[in-house]
Amino acid sequence: MGDFNKKKAAIISASSLLLVAMVVAVTVSVTHHYSADDDNKDAGHTISQSQKAIEAICQPTQFKKNCVDSLSSAAGNTTDPKELVKIAFKVAVQKITDAINKSATLHEIEKDPRNKEALETCKEVMDYAIDDLNHSFDKMSEFDVSKVDEMLADLKTWLSGAVTYQETCLDAFQNTTGNAGENMRKALNSSAELTRNSLAIVSEISTVLTSLQIPLFSRRLLSDESALPYPTEDGFPTWVAAGKRRLLSSSAADIKPNAVVAKDGSGQFTTINAALRTYPKTKNNATFIVYIKEGTYNEHILINKSMPNVMLIGDGPTKTKITGNKNFVDGVGTFKTATVAAVGPGFIAKDIGFENSAGAIKHQAVALRVQSDMSIFYNCQMDGYQDTLYAHTHRQFYRDCTISGTIDFIFGDAASVFQNCKIIIRKPLDNQQCIVTAQGRKDLRQNTAIVLQGCTISADPLYYPVRDTIKSYLGRPWKEYSRTIIMQTSIDDCIAEEGWLPWMGDFGLNTLFYAEFQNVGPGALNTRRVRWPGIKTNTLSEKTFLDFTPGKFLGGEGGDSWITKSGVPYTPGMLASPPPAH
């Protein structure tokens, strides 16, 4: 066994070298001559080895000229593909930084309040984009073939987030006036292209790696969690570390919280924000648990990016409720309307209600916005009308939750799975129609989607009588590559037989990815569904849908340990049976 282990270690080491060697070989052997706007008119000119490497790295990108030009000016003479990828990340960061500076300049001269708020949103989300690119840079610095699956899963998650954040900046200018939005679009054009190029490059590396058929090719599972940009302990993220691995299966009485909030004064604090202000300023790997006793808390909460591993636990989703009423009609941009925003990684919520009480007449009004990577929501309730739940970015898992609303009430561009959740359609305004999902995938290579598995989709009692005149749909394409999968779900007769709704004209109908699988109930009949090119119903095998189950979709091979060790009820693959039809 000793000789075998030595031999195995040697092969693994050789595999790591082979990764670089193969990609270098690809780069050196490339004979394609990049010609767009090329100043070199000498047909006999020999491209430098560095230039060949750059051109090979840029081959899968959509914006090749920007890729080649930016790397050529920043890479020097390096031919190391790993270094070139890192440089691509850094160049994108610099371009985003330039755009942030531009937004600050525009903010100083802008007079319109909506435009000023949009510019503030831009600065915030572009800062998040830089964080995701920096995480990617750090992970690329320690790239290891032996843990390729989890590393690529993380890289794709963060680069997908960086793409989405820049798109969110531009979305903030919808329904505004003046030139600020167009000026911001121009400022972001180069960085958006470079970020999407980075995602394409990483995706191509994935293709190269999966084509390697190396004997004894070793891959550590994601249960090692070494790929995460936040602290780990004993092989698991700290929020499920030793002694705290069953948090979600425990009651509030069994958990020793760091802070207790109670409206009646029986806790340490009477507001949630006051409790969160006691989050340790020094580095602390432990889960920070806030127990919120029964009551209605009229507050706006931000779990910011410097607050990882926060857990909010209440007395029940209808007993402990956090409510607010910020909305678009009253002058607040959609992004800023959230009653609660979870940004710091590893966020957990259990037995809590999140509400935006603005009402249908106030249009966009978010109850909960989630950017927290590897976040979990268990037995929670999200209530609103338009845009109730903003599943914005990164990996998110929802179990046994209730989400209610009217228009696009589950929307965003996260890799999000909703398992055994109740989706309730509320009555909208008379001139409106209801849409359950609006997924916002901007780029084909983003690893994002909204997945409903084992859920129930039904009508609120006030909506049910008017369901035939005010129709409801499963989703519509917010962005060009919108992707939504609904499987093993009970769909009531509140969903129109067409199933899906266009966004505007034929936008996204050829490029979206919408699929239904093993659904039951009168609303699940798909014989009269729309027949857009992007509709995949009845054309895919069960194996394809397995890729969207949480065990595979939320992190890659072994990448669901952050869920399995938390104690939340969980099925990693297909359910034994869908919920019964209503």
**pLDDT tens digits along 209-223:** 443 332 323 333 333
Q: What percent of the chain has pLDDT over 70?
A: 82
pLDDT (mean) for 427-434: 96
One DSSP character per residue, 231-275 reads -EETTEEGGG-TT-TTGGGS-GGGS--SEEE-TTS-SSBSSHHHH
pLDDT (mean) for 73-87: 87
* Residue with more model confidence, 15 or 577: 577
In our burial notation (b when 16+ CB lie closer than 10 A, e otherwise), range 154-191 reads bbbbbbbbbbbbbbbbbbbbeebeeebbebbeebbebb
Nearest alpha-carbon partner for 548 in 472, 450, 428: 450
* Positive or negative torsion for Cα 349, 353, 357, 359: positive
CA distances from 113 to 108, 116, 120, 182, 332 (A): 12, 5, 11, 16, 9
pLDDT for 227 equals: 40
Cβ–Cβ under 8 Å, residues 390 and 365? no
CA distances from 575 to 200, 385, 398, 453, 565 (A): 33, 30, 15, 8, 19
**pLDDT tens digits along 227-257:** 444 444 443 444 444 444 566 766 766 788 9
The enclosing H or E element of 356 equals strand 353-356
* Residue with more model confidence, 512 or 139: 512
**pLDDT tens digits along 329-346:** 999 999 999 999 999 999
Average pLDDT, the chain: 85
Least trusted range by pLDDT, from 122-136, 178-192, 530-544: 530-544
Cβ–Cβ under 8 Å, residues 121 and 172? yes
pLDDT (mean) for 363-372: 98
Give the β-pairing of 368-370 and 320-324. Answer: unpaired
Burial of 577 from C-beta contacts in 10 A (0-12 / 13-18 / 19+):
exposed
Cβ-based neighbours of 576, under 8 Å, separated by 6 or more? none
Nearest alpha-carbon partner for 337 in 381, 385, 281: 385
pLDDT (mean) for 450-471: 97
Highest mean pLDDT among 3-17, 103-117, 161-175: 161-175
**pLDDT tens digits along 485-497:** 999 999 999 999 9
Indicate whether 192 pLDDT > 70.
Answer: yes
Amino acid identity at 567? G
Highest mean pLDDT among 7-11, 414-418, 567-571: 414-418
The enclosing H or E element of 411 equals strand 407-412
- Map residue 423 onto helix, strand or coil: strand
* Residue with more model confidence, 175 or 518: 518
Indicate whether 460 pLDDT > 60.
Answer: yes
**pLDDT tens digits along 22-74:** 443 443 343 333 444 444 444 333 358 888 888 888 989 999 999 999 999 99
pLDDT (mean) for 377-389: 98
* Positive or negative torsion for Cα 205, 207, 210, 211: negative
How far apart are alpha carbons 235 and 552 in whole angstroms? Answer: 19
Would you call 408 a catalytic residue per the annotation?
yes
pLDDT (mean) for 348-357: 98
- Return phi, psi of residue 18, to 5°: -65, -35
Nearest alpha-carbon partner for 172 in 129, 113, 109, 122: 122
- Map residue 69 onto helix, strand or coil: helix
Indicate whether 282 pLDDT > 90.
Answer: no
pLDDT (mean) for 73-100: 91
One DSSP character per residue, 89-134 reads HHHHHHHHHHHHHHHHHHHHH---HHHHHHHHHHHHHHHHHHHHHH
CA distances from 243 to 156, 190, 311 (A): 31, 47, 15
Q: How confident is the model at residue 148 (pLDDT cuts 50, 70, 90)?
A: confident
Q: Would you mind telling me the total number of residues written for the chain in this entry?
A: 582
| Active-site position among 351, 408, 443, 492 | 408
**pLDDT tens digits along 305-333:** 999 999 999 999 999 999 999 999 999 99
Domains in the chain with CATH codes: 49-212 (1.20.140.40), 295-307+315-565 (2.160.20.10)
Least trusted range by pLDDT, from 91-105, 256-270, 466-480, 530-544: 530-544
pLDDT for 581 equals: 66
Please indicate, yes or no, whether the overall pTM of this predicted structure exceeds 0.85.
yes
